[in-house]
Amino acid sequence: MSQPYKAEEVRKALKEMHPFKSLAPGRNESDIFPKIRHIVGNDVTTFVLNFLNQHDMSPNSNFTHIVPPLVHISRFNRNSLEGPVLSSRELVSAQVWNDDYKKKKKSGYGLGQCRSPTCHSIFLWQSKNLFDSSPCKDSVTYNSMISGYARSDGYESEAIDLFIQMQFDNDSARIDEFKLTTMLNLVAKIRVLHYGRQVHSFMVKSGNDLSVFALSSLIDMYSKCGSFSDACGVVNGSVGEGVVDLVVKNALIAACCREGELEMARKIFLDNPEFNDNVSWNTMISGYVQNGCEVEAVELFKRMAEEGFRWNEHTFASLLTACSALKSLNLGKEVHGRVLKEGMCLNPFISSGIVDIYCKCGNMRYAESVHKTFGTNNIYAITSMIVGYLAKGDMPEARRLFDSLAEKEFRRVDRHYFWLRKIAAICICSFREYVVSDDTTVPDTVILVSLLGACAIRASVDPGKQIHAYILRTGIKTDEKAVSALIDMYSKCGFILYAQRMFRTVSIRDTIMYNVMIAGCAHHGYEYEAIHHFEEMIAHGLKPDSVTFIALLSACRHCGLVEVGENYFFLMTKDYAIQPEIDHYACMVDLYGRSNQLEKAVAFMEKMPFEPDSIILSAFLNSCRANRNLELARMAEKKLVEIEGENGNGARYFQLASVYASGGKWDDMGRVMRTMRGMDVKKLAGCSWVQVGNGVHVFTSGDRSHLEAEDVYFVLGCLIDELYDKAIMDENLLTMM
DNA sequence: TTAGGGTTAG
């Protein structure tokens, strides 16, 4: 027996949509009903989605009762209100899995991404009502309901309960292959290995473990639950040989990539390549990205098109992740252009990926622009932007974006939202407040690393020390990343001796830890120690990366070690195959400039594979000023105007004016000053600060406004005298030698 | 009618 659900009732339900009145004051249902009917004849699904997107769909909402008829129409009754009589089972199916949902999911525009977060639960809530009221439930009814629960975040235990309960309640609803693969899908999602083993045992006992659906689901479940050997065991260890089903093959490739077994993944991928589809290529590209092989991912991306496969949203999403990791602004812009051409910018994965690239490259202006154009409701894009502003130390902007979240409908239980609350601790609260206000959750080391990073940016040693003490007191196990963050924090807050002491006490060091230590030594004028640490890391068999060389070259430029710097630059490309980035080139130009070798700096800039950016030219301008070389300064000015435009960065014009002033070229200086006129040019004064007790004391050049300025300048005078005496002594010593 | 593989944040 099926419960009928007639079209007439749908019409009645629609006519009773009294809450519509509250949407537009003055309208009544007679205005609304023709509109609905009109839409039903065209694209009702869009209407339903927009409706769901625009309104509160919590279970207590006034609108919830109209969801079933709307979904009903969208699924079964496109062209008229007169339609077939539907059973409750069909309605359950319609609401949990309507055709449009599947189509949209396949094209990358899943409902989960385009409607408000509360809506999915309302589909389920309505489905459950229908399911409970249905007098006749068969196996398919149960499958639909279990599948609906399994795919909805937060309803996983309901799926398990229903799966168990069904075996006691209903003789006609037997456990079949559909239910078992659905349960495997659920286990893969919640990642509980022993549940997976139970379902697998059940499949073997009931003879449901041999179909290609079972195989792919089992491989996926074991892989996602962290048991790669079990995933391989599903195909009897014959990985890559005789895999007949493409989905099974792709599941295996994905499992290998997840495990970091890229060579094995590549072997399976290249075995019978004629069977590969877009998913195979996308899985392989994504595998390279997941394992830090971004360059290979970009190469494969190119080959994919060459071999006649079409890029889709998944392909671009992986490629964007690769560009972010490479921090390549040029590549990012190229991909951005391609994405615009392909019309994929509405996909939330894609738009947030583009925002992320610009944030990682530090170009917040572009990031803001993309973010505003392609939707401001993407929590990933907002997270990237907050982190981008934090990395630049721009706390007010980070705070502004965080506050904007309060107006949006992100789910409070969403783990992304949960993470953002941690950022709030960085932006807004002190660590002490964070610990007190959030004492139900012990922060993990990753959170602590973020907090320490913020302390380092703000050069706030006190909260940094609090966090260090908290780690020691609570006995939280610190990994290499946490120790590196502590070393970095102490170093950037000016406490290089603490940083060095901490570094010495650690027995296991990785490349990142050496990088922060080398950079710390370089910044504090311990150039030879920086070089010593580099040699030590090589001796320990660690592989330096591009950051290592930025830190090393930075050390060289601070003490004018031109030849040593040149050697490292050469070593980096030849021995370690590291492609120099713009930061490496900037270090070299600065190194030549500071050593008064302007011709070498110019020759080096001319050989660069890309145009010098404003940072390089700015460093070069400083050298021109020190050397009073006005001809080269004019050349740099021309380039700067090309890069930044006539209305470029005001600080650069100040810099340029001071170059001309230092050479007595008052006409040129006047010209630059006139260019600045009418522009909103502000120069942020450089300043130093020192924390004494609970107070921070800030000093700018020539500033005598401090209450104790007289004493401060007296001590400063003594220090200058002492340095002067030392310089004289050094000079005498050199003469004697 | 209901099940399988590939895409984002620290």
Residue A341 has pLDDT above 80, yes or no: yes
Cα–Cα dist A318/A457, whole Å: 30
On whether the CB atoms of residues A195 and A187 are closer than 8 A, the answer is yes
For helices A562-574 and A546-558, the axis angle rounded to 10 degrees is 170
Cα–Cα dist A629/A121, whole Å: 70
Q: CA-to-C1' distance for A61 and B9, Å?
A: 32
* Residue A151, nucleotide of least CA–C1' distance: B3
* Residue found by looking up tokens 């660069």 in the block: A608
* Residue A93, nucleotide of least CA–C1' distance: B1
* Residue found by looking up tokens 């502003």 in the block: A389
On whether the CB atoms of residues A382 and A367 are closer than 8 A, the answer is no
Percent of chain A with pLDDT over 70: 71
Strand B nucleotides with an atom less than 7 Å from a protein beta carbon: 1-10
More confident residue, A115 or A660: A660
pLDDT digits (tens, 9 = 90+) for A643-691: 766 555 666 677 677 777 777 777 777 777 777 665 555 555 666 767 6
Residue closest to sugar C1' of B8 by CA: A349
- Average pLDDT, whole number, for chain A? 76
Cα–Cα dist A202/A208, whole Å: 8
On whether the CB atoms of residues A287 and A253 are closer than 8 A, the answer is yes
* Residue A110, nucleotide of least CA–C1' distance: B7
Cα–Cα dist A217/A221, whole Å: 6
Task: Name the pLDDT band for A598 (thresholds 50, 70, 90).
Answer: confident
Amino acid at A75: R
pLDDT of residue A20: 36
Highest mean pLDDT among A120-129, A586-595, A640-649, A665-674: A586-595
* Residue A180, nucleotide of least CA–C1' distance: B3
Cα–Cα dist A695/A87, whole Å: 73
Cα–Cα dist A212/A467, whole Å: 51
Q: CA-to-C1' distance for A165 and B1, Å?
A: 22
CB atoms within 10 A of CB A105: 15
Residue A87 has pLDDT above 50, yes or no: no
Residue closest to sugar C1' of B7 by CA: A314
Q: CA-to-C1' distance for A350 and B8, Å?
A: 8
Task: Name the pLDDT band for A419 (thresholds 50, 70, 90).
Answer: low
pLDDT of residue A79: 37
Distances (CA, A) of A673 to A32, A652, A682, A701: 64, 11, 12, 21
Across A100-122, average pLDDT: 38
Q: CA-to-C1' distance for A175 and B1, Å?
A: 17
Contacts 24+ apart (CB under 8 A), A440-446: A442/A474, A442/A476, A445/A476, A445/A477, A445/A478, A445/A479, A445/A481, A445/A482, A446/A481
More confident residue, A162 or A62: A162
DSSP state of A487: H
pLDDT of residue A47: 44
Window from A129-143, A212-226, A574-588 with minimum mean pLDDT: A129-143
pLDDT of residue A7: 40
pLDDT of residue A429: 52
